[in-house]
Amino acid sequence: MDIKQLKFLIALDETRHFGQAAARCHITQPTLSMRLRQLEDELGLELVHRGQRFEGFSAEGERILAWARSLMAAHDGLYAEAAACRGQLVGTLRLGVVPLAGFDPMRLVQFFAEQHAGLHFQLFALSSEEILERLGRNQLDLGLSYLDRLNPEHFDSLELAETRMGLLYDRRHFQFTRPALRWESLIDLPLGLLSAGMHFRQSIDHSFRSRGLTPNPRMETDAVHQLLQAVSAGLCCAIMPLNSGLAEFTEHLALTPIEDAHTLAPLGLIMRRSAPRSALAEACFAEAHKLLPAAAD
């Protein structure tokens, strides 16, 4: 077994296509298939269901795939650690971000990129639970997530101020003259909201219920970009976090604060406490102290 076989296995999982996985790994498709069969022979397991095309992983393959990802994370962490010992910070920082975080993650990425020109970035939109799970399994380096379910024995965190909310709308379709809106004034608007069960939506529902109000959203989705598209089309207005950078996507969007509107839990930057912990995570988490307190004021 060698590290390339694990890379091939992960590439197949990410592309779900033999040809695309081979192209991503810069090898031919027959070579990819041969190396994966060699891995199966060594492990004595069928990992991949094959037909005319890729048909998924076996149950055993899914378990081996999880180990492959952990080993690749350790492999990448080893090289990042070696670079850190030489006074360099290189590699790929894996950052998980909850949808509609009340802090623009691009500010964080830009800050890290300015400090370390050799860094690359992978961003994943995940729920709070998924971020904690992937941090615990060393599949993420840092998480930008809510802190209400955080176990301080297993994770370090840098808390931000509470996430405040506003109403995002397109000036071509809606006009609001008040400097701040009340929850009661939103109930008759066509609203676009994240899907029920998502953390940001739970905070919105709580704010309505605590005032005896029941919203009737015109659209619900689990994708932020679809909310932005619907707002720009004039289909709805959307309740969004302030200071998230979303209102800056086009000149037509505006974000008006809502009175007494904030999420149920504060947002924070999270890092796992247990080893092995990547040098990238430790360095960027330490440097975030320079940026995040100012952002929270």
pLDDT tens per residue, range 116-143 = 888 889 999 898 899 999 898 778 899 9
Cα–Cα nearest to 282, from 296, 291, 272: 272
Q: How far are the Cα atoms of 200, 226, 282, 290 from residue 246, in angstroms, in the given order? A: 15, 12, 29, 23
What tens digit of pLDDT does each residue of 168-193 get? Answer: 999 999 999 899 999 999 999 999 99
CATH classification for the domain delimited by 164-262, as one of 3.40.50.2300, 1.20.120.1200, 1.10.3720.10, 3.40.190.290: 3.40.190.290
**Confidence (pTM):** 0.69
C-alpha to C-alpha distance for 244 and 257, rounded to whole angstroms: 13
Helices (H), 137-232: 199-209, 224-232
* Residue 207 half-sphere exposure toward CB, CA atoms < 13 A: 24
CATH classification for the domain delimited by 3-66, as one of 2.130.10.10, 1.10.10.10, 3.40.50.300, 3.20.20.80: 1.10.10.10
CATH class of this structure's domain 89-161+266-289: alpha beta
Cα–Cα nearest to 254, from 151, 186, 194, 177: 177
For residue 24, give every residue at least 6 positions away whose Cβ sits within 8 Å of its Cβ, in sequence order, or none.
Answer: 11, 14, 15
**Dihedral, CA atoms, 66, 70, 71, 77, nearest 10 degrees?**
160
Q: What is the mean pLDDT of residues 15-37?
A: 92
Which 3 state secondary structure label does DSSP give 225? helix
> Which residue is listed with tokens 């509470």?
162
Over 50: is that where the pLDDT of 240 sits?
A: yes
